[in-house]
């Protein structure tokens, strides 16, 4: 394995943090498989290494069955490989752009999950008609621009769409979903919930119009869920 050769201090603490986040990100990919969000090798999770400009991400084109913590690669803030034997995900530039421009983001997930991508193919945002959407997304799930892979276009589209928005998920037109979170686990949760509500609202709309939830009720749901749900 190539040694880390970045400019930052790579002390023992960072080495340990990298090992921990590689393990976590490796395990979280199994959640994408479990919830049926990915086919073959299409989809990836990344996680920021706390206290550094580094992040770890899935290697490109590797089967989920074959992922190990060691196979997860480490990149710097520009998405350049700094540790690992494999090439990073072809979506690494988009992840890197998000980490550079959204300092509170600690995890990013990308999938082509079926129902969310179907909304993205039509370029339609998902309206907030479920209390679970109010809880997790605080309103609609927005659509980002059509953008080709290969430069900063996708990253810019994600950051521009999500900045100032409650939703941790964006539907990139004709493409798929990107989600963000305070850490990789939160971003995976957002990806799971995004597909879940994308599917439920799609199915609801197949036979008529869902009833809207008043905006102030959405705000109450979001506020409560972000502050009360789960363990303290």
Integer Cα distance of 206 and 201 in angstroms: 9
Q: Is residue 222 close enough to count as binding a second copy by CB under 8 A?
A: no
Strands 73-75, 143-144: pairing kind:
unpaired
* Strands 143-144 vs 43-48: parallel, antiparallel or unpaired: unpaired
The two tokens of residue 35 are 């919830």
Place of tokens 């394995």: 1
Strand residue runs (E) in 7-116: 43-48, 55-57, 73-75, 81-83, 107-111
Q: Is 151 one of the binding residues for a second copy (CB under 8 A)? A: no
Q: Which is nearer to a second copy, 164 or 208 (CB)?
A: 208
Out of 174, 182, 215, 226, name the contact with a second copy by CB under 8 A. 174
For residue 232, give both structure tokens.
Answer: 């303290």
How many Cα atoms within 13 Å fall on the side-chain side of residue 67? Answer: 31
Stretch that binds a second copy, among 7-15, 47-55, 85-93, 95-103 (CB under 8 A): 85-93
Q: Does 139 bind a second copy (CB under 8 A)?
A: no
Residue identified by tokens 């600690």 is: 106
Binding test (CB under 8 A) with a second copy, winner from 13, 80, 203, 215: 203
Q: Is 129 in the site for a second copy (CB under 8 A)?
A: yes
The reply to whether 119 sits near a second copy by the rule CB under 8 A is: yes
Residues that bind a second copy (CB under 8 A): 35, 39-42, 59-62, 86-87, 90, 112, 114-115, 117-119, 121-124, 129-132, 146, 148-150, 173-176, 189, 192-193, 196, 199-211, 213, 217, 220-221, 224-225, 228-232
């Amino acid at each position: 394995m190539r040694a880390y050769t970045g400019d930052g201090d790579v002390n023992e603490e960072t080495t340990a943090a990298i090992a921990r986040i590689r393990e976590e990100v490796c395990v979280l990919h199994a959640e994408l498989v479990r919830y049926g969000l990915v086919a073959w090798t299409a989809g990836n999770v990344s996680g920021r290494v706390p206290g550094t400009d580094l992040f770890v991400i899935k290697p490109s084109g590797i089967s989920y069955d074959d992922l190990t913590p060691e196979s997860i690669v480490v990149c710097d803030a520009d998405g350049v490989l700094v540790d690992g034997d494999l090439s990073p995900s072809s979506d690494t530039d988009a992840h890197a752009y998000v980490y550079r421009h959204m300092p509170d983001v600690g995890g990013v997930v990308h999938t082509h999950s079926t129902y969310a991508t179907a909304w993205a193919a039509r370029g339609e945002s998902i309206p907030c008609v479920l209390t679970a959407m109010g809880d997790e997304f605080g309103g609609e799930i927005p659509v980002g621009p059509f953008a080709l892979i290969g430069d900063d276009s996708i990253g810019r589209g994600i950051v521009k769409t999500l900045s100032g928005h409650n939703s941790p998920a964006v539907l990139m037109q004709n493409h798929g979903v990107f989600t963000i979170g305070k850490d990789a686990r939160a971003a995976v949760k957002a990806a799971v919930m995004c597909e879940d509500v994308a599917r439920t609202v799609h199915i609801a709309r197949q036979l008529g119009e869902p009833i809207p939830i008043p905006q102030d009720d959405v705000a109450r749901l979001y506020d409560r869920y972000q502050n009360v749900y789960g363990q303290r």
